Amino acid sequence: MAVNINGDLVTGKEARVKITEESISKSSLNIRDLEFILTKLKSATYKGTEFEHFYSVWVKLSSKLQSLKTNK
């Protein structure tokens, strides 16, 4: 995976470290992240009680997304 950092293309371990430091560990979920997760959750297949858990998670994430969109 390659990452563009201030015009420099960074790959490999250095790119992983940069993504982890900046994107993952120092920020919370944003609108784009939540939309991505919800899209992926919607396209998955669930069996039995998994659907109940999916729905519970879906409602929580949707509420968070709506909250972020209204506070924007």
Domain ranges of the chain: 2-71
Q: What does each C-alpha distance from 23 to 17, 29, 49, 51 come to in angstroms?
A: 10, 10, 33, 30
**Residues 2-54 pLDDT 10s:** 555 556 666 677 766 766 666 666 668 889 999 999 999 999 999 988 999 99
At residue 44, the pLDDT reads: 95
| 17: helix, strand or coil | helix
What gap in Å lies between CA 33 and CA 40, rounded to an integer?
Answer: 11
At residue 1, the pLDDT reads: 56
At residue 28, the pLDDT reads: 83
What gap in Å lies between CA 39 and CA 29, rounded to an integer?
Answer: 15
